[in-house]
Chain A
Amino acid sequence: MILLEVKDLRTYFETDDGLVKAVDGISFQLQRGETLGIVGESGSGKSVTNLSILRLVPDPPGKIAGGEVIFNGQDILLLPSDAVRKIRGRRIAMIFQDPMTSLNPFMKISRQLMEMTQLHLGHTKAQAYEHAVKMLETVGIPDARTRADSYPHEFSGGMRQRVMIAMALSCEPELLIADEPTTALDVTIQAQILELIKKLKQETGTSVILITHDLGIVAGMTDHVIVMYAGKIFEQAKTKELFARPGNPYTKGLLRSVPDPTAEQGKLYQIPGLPPDVAHLKPGCPFAERCERAEEICRREFPPFVELTPDHHSLCHFANEVYGG
């Protein structure tokens, strides 16, 4: 059952440097109950994609220039503002990368949680408070009842992210979008948070979109993966398939960059070069300059989106070869 379908989404930014096509023609689907991973380097457009789904892109300078975002049969991009606001937090919830700055430092945690249910579920103050405490307990905040009236700065980073998760799941949304939820946290805490998300997903049946640059996280958490680069989808496949048989040189490069503790490696591999300047893209494949397999055609012509299997696509002139070899 398709919960979310994104078709040809385009989000552009007007900057002093020129028109930045942060997201340039993205299409994907999310099945109910699934976890979709979006992987990419900084600047690949993964965060902007998510902001676009909820129409949270700051305008100016950003603008959703085209496409459809169909959620439960309705195109979010065409809805009037108050309809979108009803979806935010209630049907689709989002958590962000940096819990330090994402919570209002001037407001008690309890109040920030209560806001959600009072707004969307019509709770009274008492109901909302109880619900908030319950959510805090669910995400594993010790002494939830006493700590509910604290301020964000009184919590550690990991705790704050748990609070954010509690807040996001307060109204039992159908979709949770997690934008690099663990990037700002210590490695040990990262694992805890990811486990928490996994557990909650299983208990509530929420679908998840998980954005990250860390392939390790993708491997452990997701059913499907999208690899983004320069605002485009370079590869999409089931997670297991992507790791076992990548069909794109970029993906291959990413996989190679993950250090393997068991293998004896001389040098750590790194994809050569830097991500391109998205304001001034050259014709042809955006990855051509850094690609090991690149040939003349790659610099001239934009690559096709090749279907390797019905469930596995790759944006490359040589997709089949890469897939095979």
Chain B
Amino acid sequence: MVRFIIRRLLITIPTILVVITITWGLIKLAPGNFYSGEKRLPPAIEKNIREKYGLDKPWYQQYGKTMWNIVRHLDFGTSLRYEGQSVNTIIQRSLPVSAAVGILAYLLALVVGITIGSIAALKQNSRWDYASMALAMLGISIPNFVLGPILVLVFSLTLYWLPPSRWGGFPSWNLILPVITLSAIYMAYIARLTRAGMLEVLRSDYIRTARAKGLSEKDVIIKHALRGGLMPVVSFTGPTLAFLLTGTVVVERIFSLPGLGNYFIQASLNRDEPLIIGIVAFIAIALLIMNLLVDIVYAYLDPRVRYQ
């Protein structure tokens, strides 16, 4: 098991370096700069700027310096747009916001999704089953940038129950709409996965054995069926986390939350090279570690996988 983890970590590091390189390459290759807006700058000023940020040096030097700083000190530099703020500081500041929304959204999706999916599986082909699966299908089909504003329209602007946007700290009423918007699609996916997984397990022989042993239906489900039935949900966690990231970007935009996603988009539009690279690297690391955790959890849950 330990060897497995070490091997995965070893692959992670080069992967992240590759991701950073690709990002850096894309930024450098692209036409235009961070300082070129609508107006053309006078050549003297442009030269100054380029010198200040080391952009006049040959590309391999720039690459080397960037990578060196990253690898040596985990120093991603200073933002080009937000004067004087180091990338690391910005990430530190914005991460909790994204984490709060993201984690809450995922937990909500798990709780609601698994419950709905399990009940649908237990009452297969009943009205509850059809209704919840239709609702789940709806959840997959409504884009979050449509759902969010509609929720705001109804709950903030019409009913005045909840604040429409902005970050209100943690915890606060401001969290509710963004979290629901973000989690909707995952709720739907998890509900469907749970239903499919549970249906399959409930048909299996070992459930028949459990019943033949005289266990109550409740025990059969909770002690025997749930473990196997939730496996699809566990293995879906990896991709879910990846999608959550992109979902966060949109949700933070809509609700004006100062989170990692919002900074990322802003940085991309501003061509703020250090910030872009910093956030991308961070995201890549986070994803890889989370995927590793998911694999470990999966191995823990399914003893058949463990002994390889």
Contact = CB atoms under 8 A, between A and B. Distances in A.
Given A101-B206, A105-B206, A106-B228, A151 B213 contact: no
B214 A88 contact: yes
Nearest to A154: B307
Contacts of A151: 303-304
B209 A88 contact: no
A88 B211 contact: yes
A154 B205 CA distance: 18
Given A102-B208, A105-B228, A167 B304 contact: no
B210 to A, nearest CB: 7
Given A85-B214, A115-B215, A96 B209 contact: yes
A89 B206 contact: no
A166 interface: no
A122 B197 CA distance: 33
B212 A93 contact: yes
Given A151-B303, A153-B303, A87 B214 contact: yes
Interface string B41-59: 0000000000000000000
A116 interface: yes
Q: Which of B215, B223, B301, B303 has the most CB of A within 10 A?
A: B303
Contact of A104 (B206, B211, B301, B307): B206
Q: Which of B206, B208, B213, B216 has the most CB of A within 10 A?
A: B213
B269 to A, nearest CB: 48
Interface string B196-209: 00000000111011
Given A85-B216, A107-B224, A101 B211 contact: no
B227 interface: yes
A105 B303 contact: yes
A120 interface: yes
A237 interface: no
B209 A90 contact: no
Contacts of A86: 214
A119 B212 contact: no
A94 interface: yes
Contacts of A104: 206, 209-210, 224, 228
A86 B213 CA distance: 9
A103 interface: yes
Given A88-B212, A94-B212, A107-B224, A102 B205 contact: yes
Contact of A90 (B210, B214, B304): B214
A89 B216 contact: no
A96 B204 CA distance: 12
Interface residues of A, number: 29
B205 A98 contact: yes
Contacts of A116: 213-214
A85 B215 contact: yes
A137 to B, nearest CB: 21
A277 B301 CA distance: 43
A89 B220 CA distance: 14
Contacts of A154: 307
B206 A115 contact: no
B302 A102 contact: no
A102 to B, nearest CB: 5
A23 interface: no
Nearest to B213: A89
A105 B302 CA distance: 8
A86 B216 CA distance: 9
Contact of A167 (B213, B215, B228): B213
A85 B302 CA distance: 29
A54 B212 CA distance: 7
A56 B212 contact: yes
Interface in A138-178: 151, 153-154, 164, 167
Contacts of A96: 205, 208-209, 212
A98 B215 CA distance: 20
A93 B210 CA distance: 11
A88 B212 CA distance: 6
A116 B223 CA distance: 13
Nearest to B304: A153
A89 B212 contact: yes
A54 B210 CA distance: 13
B212 to A, nearest CB: 4
Q: Which of A56, A96, A101, A106 has the most CB of B within 10 A?
A: A106
A101 B214 contact: no
Top 8 nearest A-B pairs by Cβ distance? A88-B214, A89-B214, A101-B205, A89-B213, A151-B303, A104-B206, A94-B212, A102-B205
Given A107-B224, A153-B304, A164-B209, 8 more contacts: A89-B212, A101-B205, A102-B208, A104-B228, A105-B228, A106-B302, A115-B223, A151-B303
9 contacts: A89-B214, A90-B214, A93-B212, A94-B212, A98-B205, A101-B206, A104-B206, A105-B302, A106-B227
Interface of B: 204-206, 208-216, 223-224, 227-228, 301-304, 307
